[in-house]
A and B are shown apart, each in its own frame.
Chain A
Amino acid sequence: MSSTSPQPVRFGVVVFPGSNCDADAHHALSTFPCATVDYLWHKDTDLKGVQAVVLPGGFSYGDYLRCGAIARFSPIMQAVKDFAADGGLVMGICNGFQTLTEAGLLPGALIRNTGLKFVCRYVNLRVENAQTPFTRACAEGDVLRIVVKHNEGNYTVDPETLAAMKANGQVVLRYCDADGVPGDAANPNGAVEHIAGVCNETRNVFGMMPHPENSVEAALAGGADGRRLFQSIIDTLSGAEVTS
């Protein structure tokens, strides 16, 4: 995975029927001079040689049955599973996170927000683990300001799995206040232990409910904190020094 090649990092953004943040993710990645981006259609059966896959937000298959439950059966998902099993970097945002849990690529599940309302607002995220390919451009304890927009973002997982995840550094992001302190007031959806983002055991699959692709341009209202997550992926794949 690490190479010193000056070639740009090739990203693929999966488009499911009902994805609606695919163009945002494509745009966000295209703002990095050292990245190229292709769309991957849900009916595709191979990843066209991309080096990192993003499953975008939206309402794949109308959120029928459960969010992400049907998307996981798309032909492209078998290729994504094989890619992940080989150590490929996969990032799921919002509905993409839900799809990764339904596919069994990430532990836990996302249920209805405790407040029973669609939540659309800025949140602060504490980086709990900066030793992942998705957060290495951050430091542990950094606070990122990014937007959430979801109705089913309430992360839940059984206590035994959660204990194992914490021991293994798989809790990557938590909702927190502006000073970086996690708490109920900062938690938009009731997620267990204020969890906003998690990775798998091998840290190459990552899911988060907030939308970093909407925070990539400092001149716009969203700020640019989301860049650091994408930059982390680029650093990882372009062979920048790994500190872990």
Chain B
Amino acid sequence: MKVRVTITPKQGILDPQGVAVERALPALGFKGVTDVRIGKHVELRYDPPGGVSAEQARADVDDMCRRLLANPIIEDYTFELDEG
């Protein structure tokens, strides 16, 4: 299955890149831009031998996120699974 993971700086953690972009957008004439957060997008395929239930796959991907793809001290993550 296809997995898409979105990682963003945790709320409350300063995101210097987001702040810089938020300051730059008004210079292009876009007013009213707030809450810019810059993160990462990870795509992967997860097809363990013997197959895996959707529930187990969710648990496994959550484990991947917690232990490597994101650093839970500074980052939040969400993910989507897509059969096929």
Contact = CB atoms under 8 A, between A and B. Distances in A.
Q: Which of B14, B68, B74 has the most CB of A within 10 A?
A: B74
A158 B68 contact: no
A75 interface: no
A111 B68 CA distance: 16
A109 B71 contact: yes
B16 A113 contact: yes
Interface in A177-214: 190
Contact of A69 (B13, B14, B20, B68): B68
B28 interface: no
A190 B14 CA distance: 9
Contacts of B78: none
Interface string A135-167: 000000000000000000010111000000000
A156 B68 CA distance: 19
- Counting chain B residues whose Cβ lies within 8 A of the other chain, the interface size class is 10 to 19
B71 A102 contact: yes
Interface in A84-137: 101-102, 108-109, 111-116
B17 interface: yes
Nearest to B13: A156
Interface of B: 9, 13-14, 16-17, 20, 68-69, 71, 73-74
Contacts of B16: 111-116, 154, 190
- Counting chain A residues whose Cβ lies within 8 A of the other chain, the interface size class is 10 to 19
Nearest to A101: B73
Contacts of B68: 65, 69
Nearest to B38: A112
B14 A114 contact: yes
A156 B74 contact: yes
A66 interface: yes
B74 A109 contact: yes
B64 to A, nearest CB: 12
A109 B73 contact: yes
Contacts of A115: 16
A111 B69 contact: no
A112 B17 contact: yes
Q: Enumerate the 7 nearest inter-chain pairs by beta-carbon distance, A residue then B residue, closest first.
A: A109-B74, A109-B73, A114-B16, A112-B16, A116-B16, A116-B20, A109-B71
Contacts of A66: 71
Contacts of A157: 73
Nearest to A102: B71
A108 B73 CA distance: 7
A112 B13 CA distance: 11
17 contacts: A65-B68, A69-B68, A101-B73, A102-B71, A111-B13, A111-B16, A113-B16, A115-B16, A116-B16, A116-B20, A154-B14, A154-B16, A156-B13, A156-B73, A156-B74, A158-B73, A190-B14
Nearest to B70: A66
Q: Which of A108, A111, A158, A190 has the most CB of B within 10 A?
A: A111
